[in-house]
Amino acid sequence: MEEHNSVRIDKFLWSVRLYKTRSIASDECRKGRILINGIQVKPSRTISRDEIIIVRKPPVNYTYRVIEPIENRVSAKLVNKFAEDLTPEEEKMKLDLSHSGATFHRDKGTGRPTKKERRLIDRFQDDSNFS
């Protein structure tokens, strides 16, 4: 395997499958959601071995350590050879909590809720959010 000393951060984030496309990774860098050693970075910033990357994907802040910089996209099975996930379990639990909201099920073919049903749904959601 060819050894790389440094790689652009947007290319690295794409290659270890943190973002679906390189342009999305670049946009996230420009928005200030990517931190290296606690400092916001531009997409052109190069990374090297053993740097700590914080990726903010609200509501979770993921933390990764660069094991080996890589330019080419790798399969999901090989990602752990290039980036180590250091994200604490408390952060990962935030994601589970955000998805555990009340869900409503309407039978197929019943159409949109009436005004009365909509008010009942809103009242139920408001009550569940304060509990």
CA nearest neighbour of 29 among 47, 10, 15, 14: 10
CATH number at residue 55: 3.10.290.10
pLDDT of 19 over the 60 cut = yes
Q: Are 19 and 25 in contact (CB under 8 A)?
A: yes
| pLDDT tens string 97-130 | 655 555 666 777 788 888 998 898 888 877 766 5
Q: Number of structural domains, the chain?
A: 1
Indicate whether 39 belongs to any domain. yes
pLDDT at residue 101, as a whole number: 56
pLDDT at residue 77, as a whole number: 94
pLDDT at residue 74, as a whole number: 93
Q: Which domain holds residue 82?
A: 7-90
| pLDDT tens string 48-92 | 999 999 999 988 899 999 999 999 999 999 999 999 999 998 888
Q: Are 84 and 65 in contact (CB under 8 A)?
A: yes
**Cβ neighbours around 13 below 10 Å, total:** 25
Indicate whether 116 belongs to any domain. no
Indicate whether 62 belongs to any domain. yes
